[in-house]
Each structure stands twice: as C-alpha cells, then as structure tokens.
Structure 1
Amino acid sequence: MLSSKWVNGTILHYWFLDGPAAQQQAVRDAFAEWKALGIGLVFTEVQDRSEAEVRIGFDQADGSWSYVGRDVLGIPATQPTMNFGWDLTTDYGRTTALHEIGHTLGLPHEHQNPFAGIVWDEPKVYDYFSGSPNFWPREQTFSNVLRKLDPTEVEGSTWDPNSVMEYWFPAGLIIQPAQYHSGLEPAGGLSATDKEWILRFYPKLKATNPLLTPFVSVPLSLAPGGQANFSIVPSETRRYELGTFGFADTVVVLFEEVKGKLRHLAANDNSGTDRNAKVQVKLFKDRKYVARVRLGWAGASGQTAIMLW
C-alpha cells in the first residue's frame, strides 16, 4: 500500500529480542536477499533495542507476523514489530522470513489485492483459520485473508499467485478462479513480479542529488509512490523549515550525513489531513543534509512543490 511505504533511501535498523543463532542468521540472510535485488533501502543490524525501528522476536506460541511498512514507527520500543513462530531453516521457513520482511517493506498480502478477482468460500475460510496452527478469531481471518485492499491505495500487478506475499491455501477455500479450487501453493521465494515491483517502489538511488537552497520553491511532478531527493548544505547555522505546498499527500524526511552515513533527523507525513508536510529543525553551516519527499496521492491539482526556508 502506498501509504505504508518507506521513503526510499531509509536505513532500517533491526534488532533481535532473542532466538537461536541459526534462526537469527536465517533472518539476516532474508534481509540480504531483498537487498541483493539492488533496492534503495538499507538494512543494518544493531545491538541496542532503542536504535531499532524493527524488533524481531521468535516466540513459538505467537505465529509468524509483522507490522506493515511505516506502521512499525508507532509501536512502543518495548514491543516487537515482527515475530517468527516456526523454524526458518527449511525452504518454507526461508519463504516465511522473506514474507514477513516484505510486510516491513510495506507490502500487503497478495491475496488481498482488490484486482485479483478471488471469490472465497467464506465459511470454510473462517473454519480453516480458526483451527491449528493459527487459531485466529473471525476478525483476524477477515483482516489477514478476506478483506480487500482499497483500490486507490494499491499500486502493483493484477495478481501474482506465486508472490512471496501470497499465502498457501488448501483445497476448497477458493471458488474462483476455478483453477485454484483444488488449492493454491506458491512456488516459494521471491517471484519475478516481486522483484520487478520492489525495484519500482525502491529503485537504486542516484549518487548525487540536486541542491535545495533556501527560499527557492522546487515544483514536483511525481506519480503516486514517486520520490524526489535533494542535498542541503546550509550557508548559516539557524533553525530552518522544510515543507511541501499544494494539494498532495506527502512524506518529508530529513537526514544528516555523518561520516558517510545518513542519520535521521526529522520526518512528517500529511496523509489524510488538510495540511502540508513540514519539519522544523536546526541545521549547521556547511554540514551536509539530505531531504527526501515521497508522494502518496497527487490530489486534485496533481502538483506539489518543496521548499527550504
């Protein structure tokens, strides 16, 4: 979903609450597999929980799950944002690790794609997921399986039954398409369509960004999900404001470059409100900063702009 995507170039820090070494390594390998596609996000393991946006547990009684995209930022630092409830060293476990990390990257369940055309035998779906190993109440089954995503918030393929974000379903749960009435079993791992779309969402970043100077408004013509990146090198030390203008849902994030690495300074998201995204922060003369703005919805005019002042 567009609203849950990270600003491209974000460094996601992850931390393990617990877990055997082999299970932790399986998660590291899954992060590396996503990164090896050439996406613009960065994954960094940290040893301090307070530094981690992504906190990973291995509670065998809690199933496998993850919060979606930037929703992890709203979870208290004392709580996990991802959990694995079974062995990740098998082929199925490897796919599970890729699947849950996919959620953290902002990817929803593929079977909830509003363009998939799936017709469910709903009583059988509720009955199946109420049993072992899920034991889900009706609300959770509806949320994870039957609920269709809002078409206005989705960008992606029509339906990819082999997506790593697709569930395995036994026979009898799907009425249409008829070919899956006997069951749906994805191939496992990242599909070709998964790789194509994650690179559209998070393309490799350019080595240099245009310079954003104070009091110069820069028009942005971005498609939903599109992003613009800028460099900032202040000529004086003072408090600055960085924000967007126009009728558009945007996320603005500001980083400082410290020893070649970007450190998060501030962020703001105006999605679902009648205001623009804006951050206020003190910047220091001749230090290097990076501003990123991502568009969720273009609004009535289809135009927006960004300015530093």
Structure 2
Amino acid sequence: MNNAHNCVAKQPDNMQASYDVAVSENPANRPTSASGRQKRAVGSHKKFWAPGRTLRIAFLNGDQAFKDGVKAAASNWLPYINLKFDFVDGEVGDIRIRTEPATYWSNIGTDALLTVEGPTMVISDWMLQPRLFAHYVMHEFGHALGAQHEHLHPESNIPWNKPAVYQDHGVPEDADENYFGRKTVDDRYFNLLDPSEVNYSPYDPKSIMHYEIRQAWTHGDFKIFLNLAISEKDKAFMAEAYPYPE
C-alpha cells in the first residue's frame, strides 16, 4: 500500500438514480442557482441524509471487537449532526458494513440507498493501532454522511510531483492518459472536484477526509500528515449539512 489510507470513494454508475434517491431522501439535496433557487441538475446534487432521522447501520460480518471499535469511532461524528445511529447485525440497513483485509471504501451519503444488498462500506479489521483504526472509521463515515475527499477540493492547490506518484504506484513513465493505472492514480489524487457539482466549504488540510501527502510526492517543502481527528471545519461542515430545528 503506497499511502496510509488507500480509500476509494465509490461513485454511482447511474447519476439519474443517484439524484432521484438523494432528492427523495432529502429535498434540500437539489442543487441551487446563484440566486438561491433550486434547480434540477443531475450530477450536481448533494447526498445528505434527512436531518433528524435515524440511520440503521448493519454489520454484515466482523467480530465483536471490530463492531465495538466501529461504533466508538463513528460516534465521534454524532455531537455535530442531527442524526442518530442504530447499529445492528444482519443484512438490512441504510448503511451496511463489511470487513475485508486492507480494504477501505464507502458510498457517498444517500448513494447507499441505490442498492439493498451487499456492503455500502468496507473497512479492514486491522486494529493493532487503535488511533489509526479510528481514523479509518471516521473517514469512511465522513463519506457515508456525504463528504468527498478533501485533497480533491477545488481549491486544494497541492504542488504534486506527478512522476513520483506514478512511479510509486507502478505506472510506466511512457503511459498515456488512457492507461488504466495512470487513470486510476489521476482520479484518486489529481482530478479535482468540479466546483459546480459539489457542496464545499473552504479547503481544510486538517480534515479527517484528507489523504496523507508525502513530501516525496510533491515539489518543495510540502507534506500533510495523516489527520487522526475530526477538524473544526469538518464539524462546521457537517453541522450545516445536518442542522437542528431552530
């Protein structure tokens, strides 16, 4: 593994279906125009759950230590959001968690509603370093609550040394942009989110949603350590997404 958290934020195969479930769950997920009026624009919608609801979170497998660790770490989000978590065993849940070795991914927010079978989140059960495990869980639950990767923020401006990143991921020097390995690296690290299609606050290098950035992968004296706690901007972002009634 070439970085401490090789997470994949799953993108939907059907954008229309993603839009439909998002708006059905929470009408505020419709995109808005500059004037504040809601508009229909498939692909530029938000994916937040309806504030005030209880998310049923099902464990598809895993031992009790894994489940307890997930519950404890995921609950770090709860003080900042108007949601409740109901953790259960079995195959029925809004969010369904499976553990697999060295694997981390999650659907983004309401995209979890696109399927009723199989996992919507996968987390490795490697728990030898509790703080690192908690980071993984909080990061994946950030996705499950509707957050994207912070290093892909439209304003991140990371001075990437792309050849170094390609090399460490086994991408040949002469690979063109359509080479699968290069495209995978581009999507994971370099292709920033379209500002017209995401809901974002100012760039936050301390976000729990940010990848660790190695200095060897950048130009100059630039690196970002793995963030092990939910940042103040993370808290504010989620509090705005999941407000309490006034």
Q: TM-score, normalised by structure 1?
A: 0.58
Is the 8 Å Cα contact of residues 6 and 105 (structure 1) preserved in structure 2?
A: yes
Other-structure match for 2:126: 87
Q: 1:190, 1:130 → 2: CA distance? A: 32
Alpha-carbon spacing, 1:137–1:90, altered in 2? closer, same or farther (3 Å): farther
Q: Secondary structure at the match of 1:153?
A: coil
CA-to-partner distance for each residue in 1:265-308, whole Å, 9 max, x for gaps?
A: xxxxxxxxxxxxxxxxxxxxxxxxxxxxxxxxxxxxxxxxxxxx
Alpha-carbon spacing, 1:129–1:190, altered in 2? closer, same or farther (3 Å): farther
User: Which of the residues 186, 190, 193 maps onto 1:142?
Assistant: 186
In the TM superposition, what is the alpha-carbon distance from 1:49 to its structure 2 partner? 1.3
Identity of aligned residues (%): 29
In the TM superposition, what is the alpha-carbon distance from 1:152 to its structure 2 partner? 1.2
Q: 2:57, 2:187 → 1: CA distance? A: 26
Segments of structure 2 that go 5 or more residues without pairing to the other structure are 1-43, 172-179
In the TM superposition, what is the alpha-carbon distance from 1:130 to its structure 2 partner? 4.8
Alpha-carbon spacing, 1:179–1:171, altered in 2? closer, same or farther (3 Å): closer
In the TM superposition, what is the alpha-carbon distance from 1:202 to its structure 2 partner? 0.8
Is the 8 Å Cα contact of residues 27 and 97 (structure 1) preserved in structure 2?
A: yes
In the TM superposition, what is the alpha-carbon distance from 1:86 to its structure 2 partner? 4.6
User: Which of the residues 40, 51, 55 maps onto 1:12?
Assistant: 55
In the TM superposition, what is the alpha-carbon distance from 1:44 to its structure 2 partner? 1.0
In the TM superposition, what is the alpha-carbon distance from 1:127 to its structure 2 partner? 2.9
User: Which of the residues 163, 173, 190 maps onto 2:207?
Assistant: 163
Segments of structure 1 that go 5 or more residues without pairing to the other structure are 207-309
Other-structure match for 1:53: 94
| Two-structure CA RMSD over aligned residues (Å) | 2.2
Is the 8 Å Cα contact of residues 15 and 56 (structure 1) preserved in structure 2?
A: yes
Other-structure match for 2:141: 101
Q: 1:2, 1:191 → 2: CA distance? A: 24
Q: Secondary structure at the match of 1:126?
A: helix
In the TM superposition, what is the alpha-carbon distance from 1:100 to its structure 2 partner? 0.3
Alpha-carbon spacing, 1:204–1:126, altered in 2? closer, same or farther (3 Å): farther
Other-structure match for 2:10: none
User: Which of the residues 166, 170, 177 maps onto 1:126?
Assistant: 166
* Larger Cα-atom Rg: 1
Q: Secondary structure at the match of 2:215?
A: coil
Is the 8 Å Cα contact of residues 16 and 56 (structure 1) preserved in structure 2?
A: yes
- Determine whether 1:204 maps to 2:244: yes
Q: State the one-letter code of the partner of 2:74.
A: F
In the TM superposition, what is the alpha-carbon distance from 1:5 to its structure 2 partner? 2.0
- Determine whether 1:68 maps to 2:97: no
Is 153-162 or 108-117 further displaced after alignment?
153-162
Alpha-carbon spacing, 1:113–1:23, altered in 2? closer, same or farther (3 Å): same
Q: State the one-letter code of the partner of 2:68.
A: Q
Alpha-carbon spacing, 1:174–1:195, altered in 2? closer, same or farther (3 Å): same
Q: Which has the higher contact order (CA 8 A, sep 6+)?
A: 2
Q: 1:75, 1:17 → 2: CA distance? A: 15
* Number of corresponding residues: 194
Is the 8 Å Cα contact of residues 13 and 43 (structure 1) preserved in structure 2?
A: yes
Q: 1:179, 1:108 → 2: CA distance? A: 26
Q: How does 1:1-309 map to 2 (within 5 A)?
A: 2-37=45-80, 39-50=81-92, 52-61=93-102, 63-77=103-117, 79-88=118-127, 90-130=130-170, 137-175=181-219, 178-180=220-222, 183-206=223-246
Alpha-carbon spacing, 1:2–1:42, altered in 2? closer, same or farther (3 Å): farther
Q: TM-score, normalised by structure 2?
A: 0.71
In the TM superposition, what is the alpha-carbon distance from 1:71 to its structure 2 partner? 1.1
Alpha-carbon spacing, 1:16–1:159, altered in 2? closer, same or farther (3 Å): same
Q: State the one-letter code of the partner of 1:31.
A: A
Is the 8 Å Cα contact of residues 126 and 141 (structure 1) preserved in structure 2?
A: yes
